[in-house]
Structure 1
Amino acid sequence: MKKDKFITEFDDIPTPRHKMRELSLEERKLNFKEVELGFTEEEAIAEAKRCLSCRRCIGCGLCLAECDPKAIIYDDKPETIDIKADAIILAPGFEEFNPRRIPELGYSKFYNVITGIEFERILSDNGPYGGLILRPFDGEIPEKIAFIQCVGSREEMLAANYCSSICCVNALKNSIEIKKRLKNTEVKIFHRGIRPFGKGSELLFIEAKEKYTIDFVEAEVKNLQQDDSGNIKIEYLQNNEEKKEKFDLVVLSTGIQAPRDAKKLSRMLKTGLNKYNFSINKSFLPCYTEKEGVFTAGAFNGPMDIPSCIAEAGNVVSHICSMLKNKKGKIEVSVKPEKGKYDGRTGIFLCKYGLKTLSKTEMMEFLGVIDELSEAYPVKKYDYACVKKSTDDIINTIREENLDRIIICSCYSESHSGLFKDISADANLKPEFVDVLDINSGNGGILSKLKTLLDKKNGKPESKTRIEKVKSCMIIGGGVSGITASLKLAELGLDVFLVEKKEKLGGRLIDSYYLITGDEIKPEEKLEELNEKVNNNEKIKVILNSYIEEVKGEPGNFSVKIKSDGKFNEIKTGGIIVAIGTSIYRYSEDYALSKNKNKGINQYELEKLIAENKFSAKKVVMIQCVGARNYCSRLCCTEAIVNALKIKQVSPDTDIIVLHKGIRVFDFDEELYSEAIEKGVKFVESVIDPEVEEEGENIRVKVFENDKKKNVKAIYDADLVVFNVASIPSEDNKKIADVLNVSLDKEMFFKEIDPLLNPVELDREGIFVCGMAHYPKTLRECIIQANAAAEKAFLFITNP
């Protein structure tokens, strides 16, 4: 593959080659000694380092030989392309924090100090060690591994006073994976407060502690040193005590930073950035910029995980579809004629990674069907079908078995379809004979599609005739999420039925007095505006005081029976979006003040007191996580901090104690947390539930040490105790899930078909979810997910 014309001469090589010493001309006379004397050991090491750090193309052609997609073009030249577009989406992603900026951590100096992303590559089957966990220094299996959190996050001195949101969950997942592969390896996570982000993350945290016995050390890491054997000594401060400990491998959980070209994009398109160079947009118009037709999505808006990025993408697409729906134009679509019958053979290839999203029962049922099919069809199973080892085997199987059609059951068809069609082309199999099915569509979906494809291959007619989809959508729940989804679908041209069990729309916004978004928006004014938009939209029919009683029919043609004021109505609809809100835990189940009932309130009641200028307490104790189960209610910590700051505005001398089980504020809410600390709000960890006692008109709150002995750590007198109650699933979730024939998760929230890549679709085709019905989330996140669900529903209903 090596070609001379691709060998490039570089004029700007920063370090010249070391010149080897030679015999002088006089010394060469009358002997046969070597002229070149060779390098000394020091010179040889220096030259080797120079060579290895060059990282320049030498034209060897190996990369071209290894690149299956043939994406490398040696003599390619830069070109400028002019593209006319009606809308622009800015989604440049993020940059990983460079840990070299913290020299005490020894990154790039010590071989066995690596970043979290580098460690994920080590875990990967197609990584540098083929999935084996080895340390870079000597290729040995590590017996002690440490993770260091918040590297480049929550650091004002590094211009990063925000939480990167994803680091803790990534560390939890990676540490659990270590324990699964290396049971005897000790894992410790050094942190300044663990903050699992997203649905299911709290259960992951509990599992890491209890099942896998991962040690969580709350401490400040001061310095790292490497000894001659490559081991890393961590020096850290815990409870004002200096400690040291050695590890075989250290993983730095590096934070998220804005992309390096953020300022350039902002200048070109005249869009705003915050002080950290992430995009700015408003809470009720997320992903919009000041520039008309320019939108932002993903981590460019701030630190977020993959499900949030995917929801943001759907949100932006829904806005652009609305903007362009009346624009004239024609899209040419090439449709290949359908083949009726194939005389060759069909092969079935299964990616076992996709099975992880199925329950054990579903998995066994699916594998049972695959095993039955293996008697009639060539069947291959892979841990990861998309890695090179597997794709090579697929190509060989197509050739050896002389296959004329293949069916690949993968974890996510949308992202892998192109890959499998490309590699099949290498075996001379045309793309139209490659079908990629999504395991995450649920057993009913994938087994039905599998049968249909096999019937088609065998020349049998499809069992179902195509139905005409009803061009309307029903929204269950009239809070902000339901209203947002309704307005978006109406914009897109569908008729909408908005069903709400209460007498008016608005959900939690009805009882809100100010928002925690930082926007100067009054909730009552915004709610009035939303109601006016809904009521004046002739495409939206609002059905109040109503319940869903029965759903019949097929996806695209549902028949929904609704009970309204004791009467039943039946409505035909093409799709359904579940946008039910949550309930509020009743703190009286845990804390009951019999003598001083007016001195015990929840955060929402405190918000009302402050807004109505009725707050007068001088000693306030806030108790977090009241009624919280195996998940984080997401909003509680930020609400407590915002209310504390509001109190400090009206009454600076009021003492505020926040008793918590771990403060959970994410992305830029970290600034509120820092501000609260600066203004004197005290945050006290209380893993064991505190006790509230009444002594006449006095209230005392007892805080215990973080052990089971209940040794008293502190006692606080209080004029007012604020119980920060959890958001719990609506009592209607079970009934509605049964009526819709969809699944709930362990916590009784609606269960999406794929929590990572498809967070808004439920396991019955044509039914979607958004907002708090899915999981507790912020107002901004509810709006984004509502628009994403609307976009998915619109595509489903309008596609034949």
Structure 2
Amino acid sequence: ITLQQLRKKFNAVFIAIGAHIELKLGCEGEELEGILPGIEFLSKVNLGQKVKIGKKVLVIGGGNSAIDAARTALRCGAETVTIVYRRSRLEMPADPAEIEEAEKEGVKITYLAAPEKVLGTRSKSPKVEALECIKMKLGEPDESGRRRPIPIEGSEFVLDCDNVIVTIGQSPDVAALGKNLGLNVNKWNTFEVDPVTMETNIAGVFAGGDCVTGPDVVVNAMYAGKKAAISIDRFFNKHNMKRGRELEGPFQVAYEIDIDGQPYLPQVKMPSIKLSQRKSWDEVHTGYTKKKAIKEAERCIACADCCDCQLCSFVCEPKCIDYNDKNKEIRLDIGSIVVATGNDYHDPREASEFGYARFKNIVTSMEMERLLSSVGPTQGHLVRLTDNNVPKRIAFIQCIGSRNMKCDIQYCSRICCMNAIKDSLLIREHYPDTQIDIFYIDIRAFGKGYEELYRHSLEDSNISYIQARPSKVVGDPETQNLHVMFENQNTGRIERNTYEMVVLSSALLPSKESSQLANILGIETDSDRFYKQKDACAYPLDSTREGIYLCGGAISPKDITDSIAEASGAAVRATSHVLDFKKERKIEEIQQIDTTGEPRIGVFVCQCGINISAVVNTEQVVEYAKTLPNVVYSDDTLFTCAASTQTEIQQTILVHKLNRVLVAACTPKTHEPIFQETMAKIGLNPYLFEMVNIRDQCSWVHQKEPEKATQKAKDLVRMGVAKARLLNPLDIRELEIGHDVLIIGGGVAGIQSALDLAGKGFTVNLIEKEKKLGGRVAQLSTLYPSFKPGSHFIKSKVDELKELGVNIFTATSIEKLDGFVGNFDIHLKTKSNGKNVNSEVKAGAIVVAVGAELYQVPKGDFGYEKYANVFSNQQFEELTAQGKDLLIDGKKPETVAFFQCVGSRGEKGNPDCSRYCCQAAIKQANALRKMGIQAIIFNRDIRVYSRGAEEMYRNARGKGVLFIPYDVEKPMQLKGKNKVSTVIVENKHSGKLVEYPVDAVVLSLGMVPNEKENDYLVELLKIPRGADRFFMERHSKLGPVETAMEGIFLCGCSQGPKDIADSISQASAVASKVSALLSDDKISLEPIVSTSDPNLCRACGECVKVCEFHALELQEIEPGRIAAVANEALCKGCGSCAAICPTGAMDVRHFTDAQIDAQVEAVFVEYKS
């Protein structure tokens, strides 16, 4: 059948004829008897056919087929076998190990020789008896990259032989398809095709496999067939055959293998039979032992690309991988965009001096996190990678890439210092003998509570801080220890310390796709490649294009707390374009399942893939559950939380008429709501559900004791069933709420929160105790980085408030507050024209944005109010206000000194860093340098962290601002009579006292809470304060703007010190949370709350004292009878009241005394069928 005939019968033809024609030598005498094609020879031997071989055999070629033919010829009885190859050993394409084995068995190789003529006997049946060859030399490389062989004239020689086996390649049998095909073929006689579609130059004719590539591996032929099938399908349907297939590319795709840091390890030698046994057909290589197999496998550096074997889709139990999926173009109609692309880590290999990837015991901070994680590669056991021993001495090196002009990373990465401190304390907790050194430039522990953690590490004698930037890290090849070279900034000496492990704190970078995404979105990036803000101070979450907002690491490196706050803030900014605050309420009536009568319990045991089932025998747990009272159904599932399994559970409930459900799986914290919703959708009360955690409490903690883990799982199921039998349906109550919002505090945070909420349609009442809005920001001469006056900034914001109709109450305080979430009644008192005016407002939510005040320096401390030229930073801000020349006592000063951390990071004032002080001092120092005045900043650490602040710090150093470190244990001395003339500080390097002549001293005062005002608000709002006396958030990361009292929120400096940008971001975050709370006309009250039995209550008041949510109070329930009464809107169901009640009057729904007693009893009592 010819190709032409096929084309007449079929619309498309795929040619896959292989490459079965063996190439000939192309020299005289090739037709003689004794000339054997190599593949034909090997095929006959493998099929068990007799092959006649003489004593002397020559093999022509240099590939693996030539080696196979030569070794096979020996086993067929040849006495001598010689391979003739036209290039040198270096260019020989055969596997070097195969060449070596052939030589061991006696195969000889003649290099740089090529056949010229086959010599034969003169008889009726001429037979080969010798091969005439010519010597070759190597010239320039050809297209294969190998040097081209060139014949040496006059170098002919003859090799005697009985057979010549030819193994120089194969080509397709193109002639079998007929004549005048019209198909393009290349010089190797293979078809030319499009590398993506596999189509030839003739439309509808496709080709693939060896007839295109020449002899190749099977998997490539399979791949060509799949590609051709796709193309033919598109060809029939008249679709573009190339669209979406760009990544399929040509057959040979060049890619680089990353071997940096990978040690060279020779291949493990494969055991083999003795040479004397190799004349047989026994397998030469006997295989690795288990130990050797593991050692060989460990050499793998996982360099391969995906080979499309699709095994991953088969082993992935949740079926997350779909090879049949296709790229889709999805169009979304949206009103705004939030960019939250996060960060990437700087590759520490770019700083080669630190030895990362060259020395195995050097890890990054993220790799250390994985090593310390219980689900990491070592299950949380910290070991050296070279010997699996616990390191006794570890170095953390900060700022790898960060604050580094050489790496073009000019900013602080913000998280590194606290990450190192946290990991150091964690290591010391688990490994008390380990010594840790932290190399740092400045320790930037600026977050709430961070300073306490830093102080805790300073108190640990095994954690040391070395102020230095190491110059290099060198590995010891014998011990695998690491030598860190550095100049100690405290001593000024070059030192070398030896460590068993080094941790590099790598810089955080913008995500790799940020520039490309910026082009797509039409927004700008800054010089640091992070997305540019509309105004870093006034609009920190707005990009340079309206309607597109930024948050988290997309703006600059952030910790978790600030990222979450910014994310919430960006959400409210984005939704202001597209959503009204009220959401439509859809109520679907579902017929409720009758739960009266005997409990019918269904038990579902989760395998969690292998998370549970690899340790716990879930089948045994299922069978055991069937023996427990009232259990009518029990089964195990692969993933109980999967959507498909949820549907199965619903069907099981209906079929088996279940009225109680118990799931034995993982953590109820995250998964219990999923199962409760599943039950509610089919009408089963969601509180007739119980869950036990057999992953965290069984399989994870008892991995090496599967039998005990299984028994413990049975115990937990038994306890869960005991409680499930006593569960009662609970009804969720709904509470109607108001939609007005009260904001306490008219500073920048309160103003921003009011703007965001009013912009979403809420009625906002903003109260401020002072006569004007703006707080401390209004008093600032300039704001960084815009350098606009603070008063102008506040005026523009206040104008916006008025445009949006916000109700502004100045000179106003709260007289009385009643109510709870959704229903607060607030009585206000306003001073107006010397009189008090009373008013009343209602609110569904309250925002506390009362800010903070500056530390009040005791008279005489730091010379304050003792010397006339000692000022607070706020007083100095007024002196340097725009348009004013700085004059002190009528003279322009020559030198001004700044004292940092006055009222911060100590016993007096704020125990934490006040965050704003360093940046404010540098801003003022730069202003002084413009006036020609010298500035000296005496500091403990320079903590600048906000966008652009590091650049400002660097510019200050360039302008000549002096930064002098001081030891808090060795306070500065001031000299002078009525004015300070000299500041005396001990030099940290020499230990000597150094005198600095000055004309003025500025005290950078810390932020502290307004104790008097906050005391009143604590009593009024019932919200807690922390040890720092600032108001306490519900959770530093999960609820950074919420309080323990539902419906009351925090933002700005009322929660802790912040700069303007962070205060605005957090204010927007509060607006987001308030919007979510008040977006409906009703809120649902959790039914798991305390209840009081008035017949048992004796009104002792103990429950009222312990309730931190102020949900309980003693009330007169009838004349002369007092009892504790719970407010369900405030109660969180914590159970403190039930625990302390001496009479048993207090109980908690869903966790009743009877239910808990049943569980405790079930611990000790084995139920039997």
Length-normalised TM-score, structure 1: 0.81
How far did 1:124 drift? 1.1
Q: Provide closer, same or farther for how the CA distance between residues 523 and 408 of structure 1 changes in structure 2, counting only shifts above 3 A.
A: farther
Q: Provide closer, same or farther for how the CA distance between residues 772 and 338 of structure 1 changes in structure 2, counting only shifts above 3 A.
A: farther
Higher mean displacement: 398-407 or 204-213: 398-407
Higher mean displacement: 673-682 or 320-329: 320-329
Residue type of the partner of 2:320? A
Residue in structure 2 matched with residue 370 of structure 1 by the alignment: none
Aligned match for 1:133, one of 378, 382, 403 = 382
Cα distance between partner residues in 2 of 1:768 and 1:229: 56
Residue type of the partner of 1:692? L
Cα distance between partner residues in 2 of 1:774 and 1:6: 66
Residue in structure 2 matched with residue 657 of structure 1 by the alignment: 936
Higher mean displacement: 235-244 or 141-150: 235-244
Residue in structure 2 matched with residue 507 of structure 1 by the alignment: 775
Residue in structure 2 matched with residue 178 of structure 1 by the alignment: 427
Asked if residue 574 in structure 1 is aligned to residue 844 in structure 2, the reply is: yes
CA displacement 1:268-302 (0-9 Å, x = unmatched)? 12111111110111122222223232222210101
How far did 1:697 drift? 4.5
Cα distance between partner residues in 2 of 1:737 and 1:489: 24
**What SS is found at the alignment partner of 2:898?**
strand
Cα distance between partner residues in 2 of 1:224 and 1:420: 53
Structure 2 contact 917–1006 (Cα < 8 Å) conserved: yes
How far did 1:241 drift? 1.4
CA displacement 1:338-359 (0-9 Å, x = unmatched)? 66748455999xxxxxxxxxxx
Q: Provide closer, same or farther for how the CA distance between residues 21 and 562 of structure 1 changes in structure 2, counting only shifts above 3 A.
A: closer
Aligned match for 2:1020, one of 724, 729, 739 = 739
Aligned match for 2:923, one of 612, 618, 642 = 642
Asked if residue 555 in structure 1 is aligned to residue 859 in structure 2, the reply is: no
Structure 1 contact 20–36 (Cα < 8 Å) conserved: no
Cα distance between partner residues in 2 of 1:409 and 1:781: 37
**What SS is found at the alignment partner of 1:196?**
coil
Residue in structure 2 matched with residue 600 of structure 1 by the alignment: 870
Structure 2 contact 687–729 (Cα < 8 Å) conserved: no
Asked if residue 469 in structure 1 is aligned to residue 737 in structure 2, the reply is: yes
How far did 1:336 drift? 6.4
**What SS is found at the alignment partner of 2:818?**
strand
Residue type of the partner of 1:110? F
Structure 1 contact 476–482 (Cα < 8 Å) conserved: yes
How far did 1:734 drift? 2.6
Asked if residue 620 in structure 1 is aligned to residue 872 in structure 2, the reply is: no
Cα distance between partner residues in 1 of 2:565 and 2:450: 18
Residue in structure 2 matched with residue 369 of structure 1 by the alignment: none
Cα distance between partner residues in 1 of 2:582 and 2:220: 49
Aligned match for 2:954, one of 674, 677, 690 = 674
Residue type of the partner of 1:695? K
Cα distance between partner residues in 2 of 1:458 and 1:114: 52
Q: Provide closer, same or farther for how the CA distance between residues 19 and 136 of structure 1 changes in structure 2, counting only shifts above 3 A.
A: closer
**What SS is found at the alignment partner of 2:749?**
helix
Q: Provide closer, same or farther for how the CA distance between residues 174 and 275 of structure 1 changes in structure 2, counting only shifts above 3 A.
A: same
How far did 1:548 drift? 2.5
Q: Which runs of 5+ in 2 are unaligned?
A: 1-218, 225-250, 258-264, 288-292, 626-633, 635-659, 693-722, 887-891, 1083-1169
CA displacement 1:497-524 (0-9 Å, x = unmatched)? 11111111111122111002x1253322
CA displacement 1:237-261 (0-9 Å, x = unmatched)? 1133111111111111111111111
CA RMSD of aligned residues (A): 4.3
**What SS is found at the alignment partner of 2:367?**
helix
Structure 2 contact 434–462 (Cα < 8 Å) conserved: no
Residue in structure 1 matched with residue 715 of structure 2 by the alignment: none
Q: Provide closer, same or farther for how the CA distance between residues 603 and 109 of structure 1 changes in structure 2, counting only shifts above 3 A.
A: same
Residue in structure 2 matched with residue 79 of structure 1 by the alignment: 328
Structure 1 contact 621–722 (Cα < 8 Å) conserved: yes
Residue type of the partner of 2:496? K
Residue type of the partner of 1:116? S
Residue in structure 2 matched with residue 522 of structure 1 by the alignment: 789
Aligned match for 1:153, one of 402, 410, 419 = 402
Q: Provide closer, same or farther for how the CA distance between residues 325 and 77 of structure 1 changes in structure 2, counting only shifts above 3 A.
A: closer
Residue type of the partner of 2:378? Y
Residue in structure 2 matched with residue 106 of structure 1 by the alignment: 355
Q: Provide closer, same or farther for how the CA distance between residues 185 and 50 of structure 1 changes in structure 2, counting only shifts above 3 A.
A: closer
Residue type of the partner of 1:724? S
Residue in structure 2 matched with residue 252 of structure 1 by the alignment: 504
Cα distance between partner residues in 1 of 2:1064 and 2:617: 43
Q: Provide closer, same or farther for how the CA distance between residues 148 and 716 of structure 1 changes in structure 2, counting only shifts above 3 A.
A: same
Q: Provide closer, same or farther for how the CA distance between residues 389 and 410 of structure 1 changes in structure 2, counting only shifts above 3 A.
A: closer
Length-normalised TM-score, structure 2: 0.57
Higher mean displacement: 271-280 or 396-405: 396-405
Residue in structure 2 matched with residue 769 of structure 1 by the alignment: 1050
Higher mean displacement: 30-39 or 657-666: 30-39
Cα distance between partner residues in 1 of 2:333 and 2:357: 44
Asked if residue 458 in structure 1 is aligned to residue 727 in structure 2, the reply is: yes
CA displacement 1:208-227 (0-9 Å, x = unmatched)? 11146411111121111222
Cα distance between partner residues in 1 of 2:812 and 2:582: 40
Q: Provide closer, same or farther for how the CA distance between residues 595 and 170 of structure 1 changes in structure 2, counting only shifts above 3 A.
A: closer
Alignment map for 1:367-378 (pairs within 5 Å): none
The structure with higher relative contact order (CA 8 Å, sep 6+) is 1
Structure 2 contact 268–296 (Cα < 8 Å) conserved: no
How far did 1:146 drift? 1.2
How far did 1:316 drift? 1.3
Residue type of the partner of 2:794? L
How far did 1:6 drift? 14
Asked if residue 206 in structure 1 is aligned to residue 455 in structure 2, the reply is: yes
Q: Provide closer, same or farther for how the CA distance between residues 340 and 521 of structure 1 changes in structure 2, counting only shifts above 3 A.
A: farther
Q: Which runs of 5+ in 1 are unaligned?
A: 349-377, 438-453
Q: Provide closer, same or farther for how the CA distance between residues 7 and 607 of structure 1 changes in structure 2, counting only shifts above 3 A.
A: farther
CA displacement 1:711-752 (0-9 Å, x = unmatched)? 653221110111111111122223212211111111011111
Compare CA radii of gyration and give the structure with the larger one: 2
Aligned match for 2:555, one of 277, 296, 301 = 301
Residue type of the partner of 2:384? R
Cα distance between partner residues in 1 of 2:352 and 2:506: 14
Cα distance between partner residues in 2 of 1:713 and 1:8: 78
Residue in structure 2 matched with residue 354 of structure 1 by the alignment: none
**What SS is found at the alignment partner of 1:798?**
coil
**What SS is found at the alignment partner of 2:487?**
strand
Residue type of the partner of 2:572? S
Aligned match for 1:756, one of 1037, 1040, 1056 = 1037
Structure 1 contact 168–197 (Cα < 8 Å) conserved: no
Residue in structure 1 matched with residue 212 of structure 2 by the alignment: none
Higher mean displacement: 642-651 or 390-399: 390-399
Cα distance between partner residues in 2 of 1:140 and 1:422: 48
Alignment map for 1:395-410 (pairs within 5 Å): 401=625, 402=634, 404-405=661-662
Cα distance between partner residues in 1 of 2:837 and 2:614: 58
Residue in structure 2 matched with residue 497 of structure 1 by the alignment: 765
Q: Provide closer, same or farther for how the CA distance between residues 208 and 567 of structure 1 changes in structure 2, counting only shifts above 3 A.
A: same
**What SS is found at the alignment partner of 1:287?**
strand
Asked if residue 544 in structure 1 is aligned to residue 810 in structure 2, the reply is: yes
Residue in structure 1 matched with residue 854 of structure 2 by the alignment: 584
Cα distance between partner residues in 2 of 1:54 and 1:631: 48
Cα distance between partner residues in 1 of 2:377 and 2:675: 23
**What SS is found at the alignment partner of 1:286?**
strand
Alignment map for 1:16-31 (pairs within 5 Å): 31=279
- Number of positions where the alignment pairs a residue of Structure 1 with one of Structure 2: 729
Aligned match for 2:483, one of 233, 250, 257 = 233
